[in-house]
Structure 1
Amino acid sequence: MLGQLDPFLVGTALLALLALDGSLLVGTVVPGDAAIFVAGSALTGPAEIAVAALAGVVGCFLGSTGGWLLGRRYGSRVRHSRAGRWIGERRWNRAERIATSEGGGPALAASYFLPLVNGLTPVLAGSLGVPYGRFIRWAVPGSALWVTTYLTLGSVAGTFAREHQHLLVPISACAAVLAVGLFVIVRRSRAARAAVSPAAEAAEVSGPAGSPGPESAARPSR
């Protein structure tokens, strides 16, 4: 955790980072959630959190506007660029579903709580023709809730760490073990789904055991 810092300095750094998060896809490299949490660990008290939160929301507004303009100007070229391919089609598809869902205003606001996806949504909203007014109307309250939540959690964690430094090592060790365990579970779950999908497709094509597939059933007998 960081030591206590000037909240105006923290807010300025957060503003710059979150402005880049949505406009230049920096959030796909440095997750905004983690950056806000770490910034919050240097703050104490509601007044300091409020100052940093205001700066963070301004940064999100600039980042969302920049990302929307980027998508509006360059369309799908960003998605199919080298950086876009590195991000992965699965994340782009998830962000696209959020940006284009009917009545998706609340989904746009909630997308800030989806790591990595929140940095892609502004670009997709612009490229898919989502009106700027509608997009930013939901982006601002969503970003305000996102920034305030993670700053508060970071502040609570930072205060606890400063008051109980003797517990840092065992807590960090437990967190590391938990993170590794979750990573292994997720990897195995994805591998299992990937193995099941081809088998399910083959079963669907061939039909139930002992019965001909749709192609053979449609073929006339001689």
Structure 2
Amino acid sequence: MLLDTLGQLDPHLVGAVLLALLALDGSLLIGVVVPGDAAIVVAGSALTGPAEIAVAAVAGVIGCFLGATGGWLIGRRYGARVRHSRAGRWIGERRWARAERIATSESGGPALAAAYFLPVVNALTPILAGSLGMPYGRFIRWAVTGSVAWVTTYLVLGSLAGGFVRDNQHLMVPIAACAAILVAGLVVIVRRTRSREAAVEAAEITGPAETADR
């Protein structure tokens, strides 16, 4: 079983892999393809006990620090070019705009910290913070605060989930069926929500144009 194999891995190895993934998450936008949330939960499922979780948490936070710093430097150096590059267009303007609202939020630092709990957006925030000229000291202080909460929370959840599954393997089939139904429902909801958002955006764009033509 996969979880049994993961459970036999050295916690230091798990931490090293997590560090690398989270460093790439915030600097090279790997988190857009492989969300950091999933990586942390999978890492957590390989851990048992507070000591192992602590080792992985320290490694994960270091990875977040490196990723946030790298992303901020890229944003500072290249600015809007990343956003308007081919990869930036593939990510989608809606996601960039959402991350920008967080980076420029009136609530400031707390919003940056909470952004770690928003998949994909958390990978874009460091670059935007750098391109918008946010002071590095202020940015990294809140980024580290958010990463500590984010990494620790998902590692603990992953560890609890992994332990539950290992102790209750006879429930795997019904749990998998429920999970599949839940995922299918979420996919339908997300698609409908995106369709509505696209319709609203199209109406906002065409509305002013029609008014101008008149």
Q: Calculate the TM-score normalised by the size of structure 1.
A: 0.87
What does residue 31 of structure 1 align with? 35
* Kept after mapping to 1: 8 A contact 2:65/2:144: yes
- Counterparts of 1:196 and 1:116, CA distance in 2: 22
- Counterparts of 1:64 and 1:200, CA distance in 2: 34
Quick check: 1:63 aligned with 2:83?
Answer: no
Q: CA deviation at 1:138?
A: 0.3
Once the two structures are superposed, the pairs formed by residues 146-161 of structure 1 within 5 Å of their partners are 146-161=150-165
Q: CA deviation at 1:199?
A: 6.4
Change (3 A) 1:75 1:61: same
Change (3 A) 1:136 1:204: closer
Change (3 A) 1:199 1:120: closer
* Kept after mapping to 2: 8 A contact 1:2/1:38: no
Deviations 1:155-206 (A, max 9, x none): 0000011111111121011101111111112212332454466668889999
Instruction: State the AA in 1 paired with 2:97.
Output: N
Change (3 A) 1:116 1:200: closer
- Counterparts of 1:76 and 1:195, CA distance in 2: 27
Change (3 A) 1:167 1:67: same
Counterpart of 1:130 in 2: which secondary structure? coil
| Unaligned segments of structure 2, at least 5 residues | none
Q: Calculate the TM-score normalised by the size of structure 2.
A: 0.91
Worse overlay, 195-204 or 98-107 = 195-204
* Kept after mapping to 1: 8 A contact 2:3/2:166: no
Worse overlay, 55-64 or 173-182 = 173-182
Change (3 A) 1:55 1:201: closer
Structure with the greater alpha carbon radius of gyration: 1
| Count of paired positions | 210
* Kept after mapping to 1: 8 A contact 2:20/2:63: yes
Once the two structures are superposed, the pairs formed by residues 122-137 of structure 1 within 5 Å of their partners are 122-137=126-141
Higher helix share: 2
Once the two structures are superposed, the pairs formed by residues 1-222 of structure 1 within 5 Å of their partners are 2-3=3-4, 4=7, 5-195=9-199
Change (3 A) 1:74 1:201: closer
Change (3 A) 1:193 1:122: closer
Instruction: State the AA in 2 paired with 1:2.
Output: L
Change (3 A) 1:134 1:186: same
Instruction: State the AA in 1 paired with 2:45.
Output: S
| Unaligned segments of structure 1, at least 5 residues | 207-212, 217-222
Instruction: State the AA in 2 paired with 1:189.
Output: T
Q: CA deviation at 1:104?
A: 1.1
- Counterparts of 1:98 and 1:196, CA distance in 2: 21
Q: CA RMSD in A?
A: 2.2
Q: CA deviation at 1:133?
A: 0.4
- Counterparts of 2:207 and 2:73, CA distance in 1: 46
Deviations 1:12-41 (A, max 9, x none): 000011011001100001000000000000
